[in-house]
Amino acid sequence: MIFCEFGPKNRPALFRGPHALVTADSAAEVAPALERLDRARRAGRWIAGWIAYEAGYALEERLLPLMPQMQGPLLAFGIFDRPEDADLPVPDEQVRLSPFRPLISRAGYDAAFARVQDYIRAGDCYQVNLTFPLESRLESGSALGLFHALRGLQPVGFGAFADLGGPALVSRSPELFVRLDAEGLIETRPMKGTAPRDPDPRRDAELAAALAASEKNLAENLMIVDLLRNDIGRISRIGSVRVPELFTVDSFATVHQMSSRVTGQLAAPASLPALMRALFPCGSITGAPKIRAMEIIRELEPFPRGAYCGSLGWMAPDGSGCFSVAIRTLSVWPGGRVTLNVGGGVVDDSTAPEEWEEALWKTRFALPLTTPD
């Protein structure tokens, strides 16, 4: 089962009762799985599911040797007749999480941060998205109950729940990865730049205005816009790529986020394999240039990201589809272990204390459900 709040016509869509589940547990299985899914879609089925960040290694020959040992699948999709225009059932239960604990030390983060800046100053890259996992336990309730509890706390445009094998995914993502319409218009909306909300309206407005004027955040956002323009250009008609929105600040329950919008017109009919090869993973969660940033991430992050920084979504027989960037996404493992990853883009003038604090801001949406320490 997978539920997307961002279904066709921007309505919630529930996919259940699949004809088949398609998974990939190794790098060699990723491309055949994507091809199988696209064949089913072209034959009139709908496909919906998720793809892990590390599947990106399987889509780029240079990155194949970096594939880590994974705990869960690299992708998990279902093949469906059609989505239901329906919501998820709401379980009658209380949901509580144990406090989140970072799985790396602050000293470990600082060391990785310093290495990123060494690479930037050596000219290897301009920006690297450095992340780390936190761990909790589901003390009461279920993954589905957790989704509903967080849905009430964190309204977003790209929320999703997936239970297709491996961990159950509870996603409160505010970020669009890619949207396609049946005429071949392709759109992405990368997010880069974060500031906390404040309960005082005047202070909150000041924080949003400061984010909109921040030279550091504007530069980070523009780097990723340029990367996404290049990625979309790989599968779009020459001259069709546009940036109709630049540096928009949106406010969510716990943070302000800066985003931009990039569009293009596909040069050929939509294809899931071509889409993923051109765009995945989203540049907003890698850095720039993308391939070198991914190599540095693999060197410095001690844990695989898994579903985090991957994508959840759906695609229809007519070529339309929508996928999120799987940030603000919790993985609920059998036995009740819960992981939540956070991070942010590191550039030359970033500081480790500020980036660590910004990363922890991004856990705030889940903190009301945690038991006191």
pLDDT recorded at residue 216: 85
- Strand pairing report for 329-332 and 337-346: antiparallel
Indicate the domain borders of the chain: 2-369
The least confident of 191-195, 204-208, 367-371 is: 191-195
**Confidence check: pLDDT of 373 > 80:** no
Q: Which CATH number fits domain 2-369: 3.60.120.10, 3.30.70.1380, 3.40.710.10, 3.40.50.2000?
A: 3.60.120.10
The model's pLDDT over 26-37, given as tens digits with 9 standing for 90+, comes to 999 999 999 999
The least confident of 97-101, 203-207, 339-343 is: 203-207
pLDDT recorded at residue 207: 93
pLDDT recorded at residue 275: 97
- Catalytic pick among 192, 295, 301, 355: 192
> Could you write out the DSSP letters of every residue in 141-162?
S-HHHHHHHHHHH---SEEEEE
Question: 84 catalytic, yes or no?
Answer: no
pLDDT recorded at residue 223: 87
pLDDT recorded at residue 90: 87
The burial of 121, by beta-carbon neighbours within 10 Å (0-12 exposed, 13-18 middle, 19 or more buried), is given as exposed
- Catalytic pick among 5, 29, 54, 175: 175
Question: 290 catalytic, yes or no?
Answer: no
Q: How many whole angstroms separate alpha carbon 321 and alpha carbon 177?
A: 11
pLDDT recorded at residue 255: 84
The model's pLDDT over 217-270, given as tens digits with 9 standing for 90+, comes to 898 889 899 999 999 999 999 999 999 999 999 888 888 989 999 999 999 999
pLDDT recorded at residue 97: 98
> Residue 203's pLDDT band (boundaries 50, 70, 90)?
very high
